[in-house]
Structure 1
Amino acid sequence: TEAALAHIAATDPAINAFTAVTTARARAEAAAVDAQLDQGQAPGPLAGVPFAVKNLFDIEGLPTLAGAKINRDRAPARRDAVLIRRLRAAGAVLVGALGMGEYAYDFTGENFHDGPCRNPHDRGRSSGGSSSGSGAATAAGMAPISLGSDTNGSLRVPAALCGVFSLKPTYGRLPRSGTFSFVDSLDHLGPLARCSRDLALAYDAMQGPDPDDHGCAPRRAEPTLATLEQPVPGLRLGLASGWLARNCGPEAL
């Protein structure tokens, strides 16, 4: 945790991925994980792993911004979003809130109020959006796991531009309680990570029904980690044609 906080302090001024760093909370959560280990308890599969969330997730004690200046005057959230609570239950340590396009309506990583979020691989290029801070923070190693949302590409675009892994789960697989909605019938929440195994660990920790989210499927968790490297019979890949194909580089193809 201390290494993650130090890396954020050294790296983020040039990237601008974070809108808040929860230093005191992160240290307290890390100390709790250490105490569990000292007592011979199992703190969970993500014990001590730092994570950060797009600032449309409720974080107890902070106003939920959703990328908008007007929301800075909102009352602080009284509890964490359900996905934060589930990652915490798996032992992960929250290190902060991440920038995003205003009200999640953005593909560029630009935000008039918080400034642009820059691509860690080339700070002159776009990080993508609207989960811009999530993609950039994970790519820069400031948060091995981050959470974002996707209504029309907002997980997939920053993951692609920043070179990390992401997952837009099937609608209803991950609960959205405690988040700022963009389009309720189309909003998906999901993780970003630097490898598929970390992505599966986070996804598995967050699955499960939630009575507070009317759109969440009432079905049990279906763990993915154990079958991650197994082949998928009949798998087919679709390749976009037209403009996308003409403007796509050979590495992506």
Structure 2
Amino acid sequence: MRFSVLASGSSGNAIYIENDNHAFLVDAGFSAKKMDSLMAGLGRSMKQIDGIFVTHEHSDHIKGIGVVARKYGTPIYANEKTWQAMDSLVGNIPLEQRFQFDMETVQSFGSIDIQSFAVSHDAVDPMFYVFHEKDRKLAIITDTGYVSDRMKGYIKGADSFVFESNHDVSMLQMGRYPWSVKRRILSDVGHVSNEDAAVAMSEVVEQKETKIYLSHLSKDNNMKDLARMSVTQTLETCGIITGEYVHLHDTDADQPTELVTV
């Protein structure tokens, strides 16, 4: 199983996962044209996608879904409440391309098992996914105000993580956002900070080679170097030295990471 974070940030999010027989996306938060470009950057095509798994109805996660579905006939998977919330946002998607993926269930596609789990975010029924193939595990968790013990149970021991590291608290507090927006981001249904993300990471990584991709960085309230430094320092405080068996990786707001094996 291989994956790439096609792009991640405040303006859009999409993650590509493949094995020798299947190819999937988690979210498609860019225009169809941009999705085509991001996939081309990996040497792949949107025509190859066997399904898109939607996490929630916010625009930065579903912007391209309607056009992509109609253009390529791509199957779309989401839970019932998310389907209801995004129906008016994505336009008509043929019934034969609309699939339900209930919260905290598993669906299997050949040798890949995909498990959904709830997160805490200000959407109607947000959920993320863990991909399993044989003894390998990829956990994706962004767009959550905190990481609960239940969430940790789903993602614990993954070989690779795509993990939200949204903001630096001081940058957010001193920044230009109105207080109502700051309060929303800092709330239990907002986004996790660099430090809070790292504390959660320290409780779910195991002593084996582990890749962590820092994702969904705010363009106004974070920076790659700052996120990496903050996460590194907090992990060290928790007794985990990055570079030994835990390896941190950046993601980008408009270009894909290298396609790597989970």
TM bucket normalised to smaller: 0.3 to 0.5
Larger RCO (CA within 8 A; separation ≥ 6):
2
TM norm structure 1: 0.37
Higher strand share: 2
